[in-house]
Structure 1
Amino acid sequence: MSENIFVAGAAGAIGSALVPLLIEAGYTVHGTTRRPERARALEARGVVPVVVDVFDAEALQAAMVGIKPAIVIHQLTDLPPDLDPRKMADAAYRNARVRTEGTRNLVAAAQAAGSRLLVAQSIAWVYAPGPLPHVEEHPLDLQAEGSRRVSVEGVAALERSVLGAKGITGTVLRYGQFYGPGTSNAEPKGACPVHVEAAARATVLALRNARSGIFNIAEDNPEVSSEKAKRALGWHPSMRLRERQGVAS
């Protein structure tokens, strides 16, 4: 019998890249969506759909207790299509709510369900100004202002919830800026980019290694170091799945 895994945000950019890898690895994947119309699309990809809102703590806990997942993966965000600059200021507050209240609800539901591992999406471009490249021990930019401060505080809350979850191994992956299929960017963009397929592979490696802590997941660049993930998880930014070619690179 395969192990149950619960993916919050299975229909998103990284969720879409991650799900095939999890199914290939033998997991029974239960994936969430807030929208009932997306359930059929998830089912067609081999996912057991779970229509639930992360802000409905009672419904989320009931769903997770019924599934009893050994592993929970948190890939939830609330961002506008193509990261529309006109909508990003408002999105910062919605996304921060996902990271604070949503993560709190996920942690509580995972504890109630007896899960042993929780892997959560964070971001790698919220470090405070300081020596480069940034490593995981460097402080976050909690003195920032405006929408950046809202985002950084949301990230900090998410990471505290995940790493402080009693009875669960908590792993935080600080991804760089996504590019590739299903994302807003076809090519690398930003100070610390990462291909969405490489980020998905890092998530699978985090499941296999089940280590508590924070790991930067980004391509080699002057801003952020991912050496810890390379050493501890065996990850490399060149890891992608090229289905059209039938080879992994």
Structure 2
Amino acid sequence: MSEKVFVAGATGAVGTALVALLIDAGYTVYGSTRRADRAAALQAQGVHPVVVDVFDADALKAALLRIAPWAVVHQLTDLPKDLNPARMAEAAALNARVRTEGTRNLVAAAQAAGAQRLVAQSIAWAYASGPKPFTEDQPLDVYAQGTRRVSVDGVMALEQAVLGTQGAHGITATVLRYGQLYGPGTSTAEPKGAMPLHVAAAARAALLALQRSTGGVFNIAEDSAEVSSEKAKRAWGWTADAPRA
């Protein structure tokens, strides 16, 4: 029987690419969505749909106890697809709630269900000012202001819930600090920002983290002067130009 993987956020840009890779690799995939009308699309992909809200801690725990997954992947976000600047303050607050409360609930459910591996999506542009390219041992921007402060606080809460002293005990836990996503399901088809990352390369990193990671934080972005992804390249053989689905 193949290992079971629960993907939280299976209908998102990275989640959609990831479930295809997981199925191709022989895993049995369970994918969550908050919307019942998306369940059929997941099923058509070969995914076992799980309609659950990450903010409903009891329902989420019950779902994972029923599934008993070997691994849990956190690809949840709450951002408008068009990234309209007029909505970014609201979006930052909603996304921060996913990263704080949602992550906390997901980690607790994964532990209760006996999951052995956990991979969670973070971001690579939350570093404090310092030498570039940024590496994983550099501090995050704890002095950020405004909307950026909301985002950075959410990131720190996510990473603490996954890796911190109150984090996922007994689970091999990995945080992926993704660059700025582009490609199918995102707001742009072309690279953008100082740390671009194609969704297919992001999904490939999540698969490799499940299969090869011994835990910790990894930058995942295309080569640039801003951020270094050498750690993931050395540890897993990940490359940003992996075949794009």
- By the TM > 0.5 criterion, same fold? yes
> Once superposed, which parts of structure 1, at least 4 consecutive aligned residues long, lie more than 4 Å away?
none
Superposed, 1:108-127 pairs within 5 Å as 108-127=108-127
- Retained in 2: the 8 A contact 1:117–1:210? no
- Retained in 2: the 8 A contact 1:218–1:224? yes
SS at match of 1:82: coil
Per-residue deviation, 1:81: 2.1
Per-residue deviation, 1:210: 3.0
* Alignment: residue pair count: 242
**Do residues 180 (structure 1) and 208 (structure 2) align?**
no
**Do residues 170 (structure 1) and 173 (structure 2) align?**
yes
Tell me, in whole angstroms, the C-alpha distance in 1 between the residues paired with 2:177 and 2:188. 18
- Retained in 2: the 8 A contact 1:71–1:118? yes
Query: What is the match of residue 212 of structure 1?
Result: 215
- Retained in 2: the 8 A contact 1:127–1:134? yes
Tell me, in whole angstroms, the C-alpha distance in 1 between the residues paired with 2:126 and 2:22. 29
- What are the Cα deviations for residues 115-153 of structure 1, in whole angstroms up to 9, with x where unaligned? 001000000011000111100000001100001001001
AA in 1 matched with 2:120: A
Superposed, 1:1-249 pairs within 5 Å as 1-163=1-163, 164-242=167-245
Tell me, in whole angstroms, the C-alpha distance in 2 between the residues paired with 1:217 and 1:68. 28
SS at match of 1:87: helix
- Retained in 2: the 8 A contact 1:79–1:91? yes
Tell me, in whole angstroms, the C-alpha distance in 2 between the residues paired with 1:141 and 1:18. 29
Per-residue deviation, 1:203: 0.8
TM-score, normalisation: structure 1 = 0.96
Per-residue deviation, 1:165: 1.1
Per-residue deviation, 1:235: 0.3
- Retained in 1: the 8 A contact 2:81–2:186? no
AA in 1 matched with 2:9: G
- Retained in 1: the 8 A contact 2:107–2:161? yes
Tell me, in whole angstroms, the C-alpha distance in 2 between the residues paired with 1:241 and 1:137. 29
Tell me, in whole angstroms, the C-alpha distance in 1 between the residues paired with 2:237 and 2:210. 12
SS at match of 2:85: coil
User: What is the CA RMSD across the aligned residues, in angstroms?
Assistant: 0.7
The percent of aligned pairs where both chains have the same amino acid is: 69
